[in-house]
Amino acid sequence: MADIVDSATRSRMMSGIRGRDTKPEKLVRSLLHRRGFRFRVNRKDLPGKPDIVFPGLRAVVFVHGCFWHGHDCPLFRLPGTRTEFWAAKIGRNRANDEKVVSALRMSGWRVATVWECVLRGRMKDVPGSIDALEVWLRSDTPALELRSPVIVPVTSAAGPPEAASGTGLAKPCN
């Protein structure tokens, strides 16, 4: 079977790994700036070098690439070659993300994670995401995660129990 991603896609993925100014980040920064927010970028003295830092609001924002951070979404697919290598690498990234978030939270920072899939791809909602970020920034809510809507399979064997109630179709018990 051929490799899942072609070389152009792969190099786009690679360019995002340590990228300071990957496109989704730039987009979020410029839209927040337009709404009057002022911030710092990539503060090296904070765990995980957050992409956007709002010192006065005690808030940081990470813009996560769905490939590198192993997001469970349509933008993520493990490459068909060197699969174990990628799985291990992405697993380490995810573990590190968790450590970073808890270190920041422990020092009193509020943390928002914005996944790439709300900014590009078929599930994106850029205005809605920026609205949500703005509301969060002005709140005192400790955490926020913005991701594309989860696609729930229609035929789920173990659906939530509340799904059956209120439909008027429940069978009588006896």
Positions touching Zn ion (CB under 5 A) are 66, 71, 73, 75, 115, 117
CA distance 124 to 28: 13
Taking the complex as a whole, how short is the minimal distance between the CB of residue 65 and Zn ion, in angstroms? 9
* Contact status, residue 100 vs residue 48, Cβ threshold 8 Å: yes
SS3 67: coil
C-beta of 75 vs 78, nearer to Zn ion: 75
- Minimum CB distance to Zn ion, residue 67 (Å): 9
Helix runs in the chain, H state only: 7-15, 23-34, 83-106, 126-137
**Closer CB to Zn ion, 37 or 67, in the complex:** 67
Residue with Cβ nearer Zn ion (104 or 117):
117
Cβ 116 to Zn ion shortest distance, Å: 6
Nearer to Zn ion, 31 or 114 (CB): 114
Shortest distance, position 172 Cβ to Zn ion, whole Å: 44
Of 39 and 144, nearer to Zn ion (C-beta) is 144
Contact 105, 113 (CB under 8 A): no
Amino acid in the structure at residue 11 = S
Tokens coding 55: 């010192």
CB of 171 to Zn ion, least distance (A): 39
Distance CA 10, CA 43 (A): 28
Its sign, for the CA torsion 48, 54, 56, 57, is negative
